[in-house]
């Protein structure tokens, strides 16, 4: 007898445990990114104070992203092998240790290694948290769960740089100490997380008779995942351009320092305000339309910015675009994992994170040079590439279920089959696949699925 697994898993009654999981992860993620971003504004100045050059300061900043590119997939794979909780806590501890190491007497070049370790730790905890949601929350309720995680992350990223700017480069040791302490504080609620029955069963099933771990089954690609990877790459491209060129564009338009600061804050605020409604939309509307709409807004705004000369209009448009991002991200994460099995969501999140981070880093590296050639060049180029990604994603997702409904579980005694979820447009795509990594007893134990309110 074969048990079908995947996104069509039956729903357990709403439980306090599932709600508690999301709230705990939200607190953990908020504290993590509060500390991680608090040192960003003054870090280049700090490197100069150590005697480093501007080039070295650039390498220090880039090492955080490079660590994500190099290690996010291996960390996702590790979370599939040993569990998400150890990777989550381990990442927070690594980040804290690297932060405390900044308090030691350093040669400037050591800052590259330590910032890279911070990136490794932050990447590990981010991948583990998203994989934990993907594996523990029913597919038709993941939009609200992912929205809670993203809302907490952006909240931390909005508050952290403000604190860092207030403390200033003269007291960077306070920021390094505080960043490490906050990371350890974030590990406290994470230690109280209880693994879902499904994840525990999968972990036990991967242990052979002699106690060694069985190899992981290769990740099964599907249209939903492929389209999400392309959409994530496009969002990474535009993010990289904004990271480097947004401030430069405002300065070229005569913006004052306070206007630049407000523009970054107003880009973060919609994520926080719209977190709950965007999650609800992702669970009640066609997720494909939300993501494609967000990509369309990103394309249009990115193309328009360099041809606008009025600073207040640029600031208002930036905040408006953020609403599109806020609506798209929970839906995008839901589509990324809705056809994936619990045993592989760590690797799926690792591949997604690697793709998006790599595109952000490459875009940021090229955008500065392109801006020096012509102010419009990086924006228009990113908009054109986003248009291509929008078209490709729409084609790939043509037969993907945009709105997944819960269905009853089936037991097959003969030929294993896959189940389908129906979108609002009537199209269908298989969103579950037969289980092949665990014996029947373990598969039956994996029937329990928690959900978030």
| pLDDT score, position 332 | 93
The β-bridge relationship of strands 411-412 and 420-422 is unpaired
Q: How far is CA 69 from CA 75, 110, 245, in A?
A: 11, 20, 22
278 has pLDDT over 80: yes
For the segment 311-328, what is each residue's pLDDT rounded down to a tens digit?
999 989 988 888 888 888
For the segment 63-92, what is each residue's pLDDT rounded down to a tens digit?
888 888 899 999 999 988 888 899 999 999
| pLDDT score, position 209 | 65
446 has pLDDT over 50: no
46 or 358, greater pLDDT: 358
168 has pLDDT over 80: no
CA gap 403, 139 in Å, rounded? 10
- Cα angle value 353/355/66 (rounded, 5°): 75
* Dihedral sign of CA atoms 109, 110, 114, 117 in order: positive
385 has pLDDT over 90: yes
| pLDDT score, position 17 | 58
251 has pLDDT over 70: yes
| pLDDT score, position 88 | 94
Residue 196: which pLDDT band, with cuts at 50, 70 and 90? low
End-to-end CA distance of the chain: 33
| pLDDT score, position 441 | 29
What is the mean pLDDT of the segment spanning 157-166? Answer: 79
What is the mean pLDDT of the segment spanning 24-45? Answer: 85
388 or 137, greater pLDDT: 388
**279 contacts 147 by C-beta, under 8 angstroms:** yes
CA gap 391, 203 in Å, rounded? 39
**Percent of the chain at pLDDT above 70?**
80
Average pLDDT, the chain: 79
Q: In 262-412, at which residue ranges do the beta strands (DSSP E only) sit?
A: 411-412
Q: And the tokens for 111? A: 């800052």
User: What pTM was computed for the model?
Assistant: 0.77
| pLDDT score, position 213 | 66
CATH superfamily of the 2-399 domain: MFS general substrate transporter like domains (1.20.1250.20)
Phi-psi region for residue 168, left (φ > 0), alpha (ψ -120 to 50) or beta? Answer: left
For the segment 339-383, what is each residue's pLDDT rounded down to a tens digit?
888 888 899 999 999 999 899 888 888 888 888 899 999 999 999
| pLDDT score, position 256 | 83
Please report where in the chains the tokens 């993203």 appear, as a residue. Answer: 150
Closest C-alpha to 269, from 125, 413, 121, 155: 155
406 has pLDDT over 90: no
Residue 181: which pLDDT band, with cuts at 50, 70 and 90? very high
**6 contacts 202 by C-beta, under 8 angstroms:** no
Closest C-alpha to 44, from 178, 161, 177: 161
439 or 394, greater pLDDT: 394
What is the mean pLDDT of the segment spanning 231-255? Answer: 88
Residue 203: which pLDDT band, with cuts at 50, 70 and 90? low
Lowest-confidence pick of 25-34, 199-208, 261-270, 436-445: 436-445
According to DSSP, the residues that pair with 137 across neighbouring strands are 450
246 or 215, greater pLDDT: 246
| pLDDT score, position 169 | 65
């Amino acid at each position: 007898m074969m048990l079908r697994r995947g996104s069509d898993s039956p729903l357990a009654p709403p439980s306090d445990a599932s709600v508690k999981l999301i709230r705990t992860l939200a607190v953990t993620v908020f504290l993590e990114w509060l500390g991680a971003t608090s040192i960003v504004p003054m870090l280049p100045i700090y490197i100069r104070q150590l005697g480093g050059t501007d080039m070295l300061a650039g390498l220090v900043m880039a090492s955080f992203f490079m660590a994500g590119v190099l290690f996010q997939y291996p960390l996702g794979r590790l979370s599939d092998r040993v569990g998400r909780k150890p990777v989550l806590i381990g990442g927070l501890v690594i980040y804290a240790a690297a932060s405390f190491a900044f308090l030691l007497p350093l040669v400037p070049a050591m800052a590259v290694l330590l910032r890279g370790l911070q990136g490794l730790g932050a990447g590990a905890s981010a991948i583990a948290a998203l994989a934990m949601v993907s594996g523990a929350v029913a597919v038709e309720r993941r939009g609200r769960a992912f929205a809670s995680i993203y809302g907490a992350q952006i909240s931390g990223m909005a508050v952290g740089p403000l604190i860092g700017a207030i403390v200033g480069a003269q007291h960077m040791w306070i920021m390094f100490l505080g960043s490490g302490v906050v990371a350890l504080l974030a590990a406290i609620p994470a230690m109280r997380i209880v693994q879902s029955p499904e994840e525990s069963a999968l972990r036990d099933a991967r242990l052979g008779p002699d106690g060694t771990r069985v190899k992981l089954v290769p990740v099964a690609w599907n249209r939903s995942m492929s389209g999400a990877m392309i959409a994530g790459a496009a969002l990474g491209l535009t993010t990289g351009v904004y990271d480097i060129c947004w401030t430069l564009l405002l300065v070229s338009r005569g913006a004052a320092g306070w206007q630049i600061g407000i523009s970054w804050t107003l880009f973060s605020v919609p994520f926080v305000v719209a977190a709950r409604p965007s999650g609800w939309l992702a669970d009640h509307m066609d997720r494909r339309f939300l993501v494609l709409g967000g990509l369309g807004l990103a394309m249009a705004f990115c193309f328009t910015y360099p041809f606008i000369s009025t600073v207040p209009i640029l600031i208002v448009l930036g905040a408006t675009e953020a609403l599109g991002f806020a609506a798209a991200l929970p839906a995008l994460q839901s589509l990324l994992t809705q056809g994936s099995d619990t045993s592989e969501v760590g690797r799926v999140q690792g591949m997604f994170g690697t793709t998006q981070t790599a595109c952000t880093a490459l875009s940021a590296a090229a955008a500065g040079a392109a801006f020096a050639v012509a102010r419009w060049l990086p924006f228009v180029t990113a908009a054109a590439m986003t248009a291509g990604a929008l078209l490709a994603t729409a084609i790939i997702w043509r037969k993907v279920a945009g709105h997944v409904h819960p269905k009853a579980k089936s037991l097959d005694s003969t030929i294993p089959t896959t189940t389908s979820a129906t979108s609002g447009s009537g199209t269908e795509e298989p969103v579950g696949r037969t289980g092949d990594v665990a014996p029947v007893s373990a598969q039956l134990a994996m029937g329990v699925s928690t959900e978030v309110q």
